[in-house]
Amino acid sequence: MAMSVGGGGDEAPLSDINTTPLVDVMLVLLIIFLIAVPVVVQQVSGLKVPKVVFEPTTTKPENVSLSVQGLDGQCAVYWGLTRVTADELRTRAVKKLEDELARQGGVGNPNLELPEVHIRGDVNTPYRCIGGTIYTMQSAGFTKVGFISEPDPNTTPRTRQ
């Protein structure tokens, strides 16, 4: 740090700024960021996150359409337009799967296509309602469960690649 001591005849104040503390702080911050950034940006190698694309749903008559709502703390599940309880949902799901297997010639059919479950969930529905519906349908034997949502009106449909 510079200091002017009297007696030199030059009475003008010094306007030089000592930048050494500023450089020291910047170097410390640089080292902290160099250490912290790799920790924050950790990724599993080889992981590919799916691209979100609006794909139109192909509805087949054998697919099951369910709607789930949370009403007054209770879960309301609708098979088509009919409200069902958890036991009725499981019974209907097992019956639907058995009927579809019989129609297609049983499990030995090499071209067997099992029906899918399409769930429409209300935005305000608690997760336990939708999760319970998924669990019930999977325990009945359905392997394909999908969600139906409204696309953004500004997007255009794309086909799978």
Give CA–CA dist 124/138, Å, rounded. 23
Report the chain (161 residues): mean pLDDT per 10 consecutive residues. Answer: 57 78 92 78 63 68 89 88 92 92 83 87 87 93 85 60 48
CATH among 3.40.190.10, 3.90.1300.10, 3.30.420.270, 3.30.465.10 for 64-148: 3.30.420.270
**Are the CB atoms for 116 and 63 separated by under 8 Å?**
yes
Give CA–CA dist 5/80, Å, rounded. 93
pLDDT digits (tens, 9 = 90+) for 39-85: 666 666 666 665 656 667 677 888 899 999 988 888 899 998 899 99
Angle at 65 between CA 68 and CA 72, to 5 degrees: 15
- What is the domain partition of the chain in residue ranges? 64-148
**Are the CB atoms for 33 and 40 separated by under 8 Å?**
no
Residue 2's closest CA among 23, 24, 17, 20? 17
Q: Please, what is the average pLDDT of the chain?
A: 80
Tell whether pTM > 0.85. no
